[in-house]
Amino acid sequence: MARPRSDIRRTSILEAATRVISAQGLAAAATSAIAKDAGVSNGSLFVYFDTKSTLLNALYVQLKKEMADAAFADLPASADARAQLRHLWSRWLAWATSHPDKRRTLAQLEVSDDISAESHNLVRESQRDMADLLERSRAGGPMADVPISFALVVTGAIADATMDALIRDPSAPEARSEAAFEAVWRVLAG
């Protein structure tokens, strides 16, 4: 009879994958290096994840969920769209700057051909509330008539640049975060 899988070991493998990908890059992150960092054998890694691609997809979905959970925590439900988006923005940047390895890994996974359409769809469905908030924010603004996917790409690009800048140079984070948010708001709402 096969041994039951351990949630702790699975988590350890995902955490190790984050560290190895962040340090070495996605292409150079061998499963043997991930297994070694996790303290498991390479064979054990494949008990939890059938292929490297399966591991990368699980990591992508987990990191996107963690980021979204952090962004939506304590969202002021009765606030207007601008205040809600500002809250999400602040929490999103706080997550990224508090977890630079996760941010770097997620940035690489987002452009990886290994990430399946199914994983992208899972993430999109789990972030439906964020898309709804963007829809409300852009109503009547310069982005009102473009596909939501394009509005997400534009705001995501500003967020990515802001996160990377704050990770490289954490001085005056509130002022730079506020300036970047104002740029996002003007792009969306006019």
Place of tokens 């602040």: 90
Are 113 and 142 members of one domain?
Answer: yes
Q: How many CB atoms lie within 10 A of CB 115?
A: 18
**170: CATH:** 1.10.357.10
Q: Which domain range does residue 153 map to?
A: 52-189
| Domain count across the chain | 2
Are 87 and 63 members of one domain?
Answer: yes
* Predicted model pTM: 0.90
| Model confidence pLDDT, tens digit, residues 28-67 | 999 999 999 999 999 999 999 999 999 999 999 999 999 9
Are 29 and 116 members of one domain?
Answer: no
Structure confidence at residue 128 as a pLDDT band (50, 70, 90): confident
Q: What is the pLDDT of residue 1?
A: 45
155 within 8 A of 188, measured Cβ to Cβ:
yes
Are 67 and 36 members of one domain?
Answer: no
First to last CA, the chain: 62
Whether pLDDT at 113 is above 70: yes
